[in-house]
Structures are given as C-alpha cells and as structure tokens.
Amino acid sequence: MSRNRSLLCELILKHAGQEGLNSTSIPGVRCLKFTKATPSVKGEWARSFVIVAQGQKEIELVENVYRYGQAHYIAAPLDLPVVSRVRKASPTEPYLALLLSFDPIELSEVSSQMPLTPETDSNLDSYGLFSGKVSDDMLEAAVRLAKLLSKPEDAKVLAPLVIREIYYHLLRSPNGTAIRQFSKSGTRMHKIAKSIRNLKQNLSDSIDVATLAERVNMSRTDFFRAFKEITAMSPIQYQKRLRLAEARRLIFEESETAESASYKVGYMSTSQFSREYTRVYGQAPIRDRHSR
C-alpha cells in the first residue's frame, strides 16, 4: 500500500464513525465506510466523484456493470438511477472512500481555465459513469482535503481550493474530455444534463419528449438517441426510476403512505405505482417498508 493511500485510509476511518455514509465539516464532502459486503441496493446516484482508498464496490446501470476498487475513482456528472453493492470489505479491511458532490459551476470554471484540447461530441462508451485509476497527484490532493476535516478554520479557505485541484486532476485524466462536455454549453452531454435537471425539478409532471427536446434545441430523434446513449435508458424510463426512488424516500424518510407518496411524484393510479414499485424493488411498498 502506498504511503498516501494508507494515510487516506487512516483519515477516512477517523471521520467515518458509523457504517455507511458519514457527513463531514466540509460541505459536499463525505466519508464512506463499510465493514462487510452489502446486498444490492437500488437508488439514485447523485452527481458525485468518489475516490476509493480501500475495498471494492460495484455499480449497475441497467445492464452495464462498473467495478472499481482501491486507488480508483468513479465519477458521475449527472444523477443516475443505479444498483450498487459493496463487493469487498471486512472489519479489518473495510471499504473506505471519499465522496465529493459535484458542483457543476466549479467544474465548469475549472474546465474553462484549462488549455483547450481537441474535443469531439461523439458517442460515449461508458454512459454517464466514468471510472479510472487515481493519479498520484489526485491522491495527494485527496489526502490534503481529508486532513482539512480536522481543521475547520483552515478548511473554510483551503478546502474549496483543494476541491478545485481535484477537479483539475479529474479533467486531466483519460476521462477528462468526456466529463468536460457535461459542463460545456452546446454539447449533447450538457443538453441532456440540463434536461435531467428539468425532469428532477418537475418530477410530478407528465413527460413529453418533444417538449424536452425543443427546450434544449434538439430534434426529438436526436434527443431520444442522446438521452439513451448517456443514461442507458429512455426519458420515460429515467423519469419512472426517479419517481419511484423519490416515492421510496418519502415512504422511508418522511413516513408518507404509499398512496400519498405515489400522488406526490406524479402517479395517478396507486395500483400502477404498486406494480412498478414491486418490479423495481422486489416487493410491494407496504411490505418493503415493514422489512426495514
């Protein structure tokens, strides 16, 4: 184990007091710890960047599986409904990772200050998820960020600078050109990301692909094709998964009834909601709630 990776493990352990996701004193930065492998969990992967210090995790997007382990990262420039599971973890060697929520404005600003590189708007071969090996410079910056978790006064000034540096190293990676397109106005990736934000903000509205396409100045055909290339699903499938994920959150976190949650996210039929919920999560809403 490299010195910096070992140090990052120690720092994450120091600030990950509980199993799972741990908030920190730095906004947008969280620590992940799992002491055992986990079963598959369906949910929304919010746009974020994860640096794995130890262990291994797996993410499934429709039929595409992404595995990433120690000294690797995974980046999601947009929100995606996924299935995730921790594959390698134990009490003596837990899964440890540092998670940064993507700030699209900061990412765009860093990108705009970088030298121009030949960029194409070609098809993605990894949808909206990107994984790769953490460079030595990125790992060293991650260690400095983790050290700031114990220095709140220093963190107020220095953490934003270190996060920008980590963005810089990400954009310099082999995935950088594709990731930059999500923050570059006019590209297909940026247009689809904008449409996804619109879908999330208007979750209960009925979807009209032609209208979504028109809002981002794309033809219906091009929009549909680009949306599926980037998210691995159609706009309607994507909205359905978002609705179900939000309804599930309302049921578990806000103590909403299944009927109330279904109406809040746009379902007109509780029976249809129950069928689709069961298809995605394996059991009906009421049974799912009581199984926790």
Residue where one domain finishes, among candidates 181, 207, 230? 181
Structure tokens at 121: 């708007």
Considering its fold, how many domains does the chain have in total?
2
pLDDT score at 45:
86
CATH of the domain at 202: 1.10.10.60
pTM above 0.75, yes or no: yes
Do 158 and 189 sit in the same domain of this protein?
no
> Among residues of the chain, what percentage have pLDDT more than 90?
65
Which one, of 168, 152, 165, 149, lies nearest residue 29 by Cα? 149
pLDDT score at 128:
84
Residue where one domain finishes, among candidates 130, 151, 181? 181
Structure tokens at 189: 């990736």
Which one, of 140, 141, 100, lies nearest residue 2 by Cα? 140
Are the CB atoms for 203 and 243 separated by under 8 Å?
A: yes
* 288 or 209, which is more confident: 209
Per-residue burial over 6-23, b = 16 or more CB atoms within 10 Å of its CB, e = otherwise? ebbbebbeebbeeeeeee
Do 214 and 154 sit in the same domain of this protein?
no
pLDDT score at 220:
95
107-134: per-residue pLDDT in tens?
Answer: 888 988 887 654 444 444 557 889 999 9
Do 173 and 203 sit in the same domain of this protein?
no
Round to whole Å and give the CA distance between 7 and 194.
38
Range of the domain at 226: 185-292
Are the CB atoms for 182 and 129 separated by under 8 Å?
A: no
Q: Is the pLDDT reported for residue 277 higher than 70?
A: yes
Do 169 and 189 sit in the same domain of this protein?
no
CATH of the domain at 156: 2.60.120.10
What distances in angstroms separate CA 26 from CA 33, 149, 168, 200, 264, one per listed residue? 17, 7, 19, 25, 32
Do 199 and 156 sit in the same domain of this protein?
no
Do 51 and 165 sit in the same domain of this protein?
yes
* Max CA pair span of the chain: 56
Instruction: Mention every residue, 6+ apart, whose C-beta is less than 8 A from residue 62.
Output: 232, 233
DSSP assignment of 189-223 equals HHHHHHHHHHHHHTTTSPP-HHHHHHHTT--HHHH
Round to whole Å and give the CA distance between 216 and 228.
16
Q: What is the mean pLDDT of residues 144-156?
A: 97
pLDDT score at 57:
95
Round to whole Å and give the CA distance between 52 and 77.
17
Mean pLDDT of the chain: 90
Do 154 and 24 sit in the same domain of this protein?
yes
Round to whole Å and give the CA distance between 185 and 190.
6
155-208: per-residue pLDDT in tens?
Answer: 999 999 999 999 999 999 999 988 988 888 888 888 999 999 899 889 999 888
Do 280 and 220 sit in the same domain of this protein?
yes
Do 125 and 189 sit in the same domain of this protein?
no
Do 171 and 195 sit in the same domain of this protein?
no
Q: Is the pLDDT reported for residue 48 higher than 90?
A: yes
Q: Is the pLDDT reported for residue 44 higher than 50?
A: yes
Do 172 and 31 sit in the same domain of this protein?
yes
205-246: per-residue pLDDT in tens?
Answer: 988 899 999 999 999 999 999 999 889 899 999 999 999 999
Residue where one domain finishes, among candidates 130, 148, 181? 181
pLDDT score at 114:
83
Do 131 and 208 sit in the same domain of this protein?
no
Instruction: Mention every residue, 6+ apart, whose C-beta is less than 8 A from residue 10.
Output: none
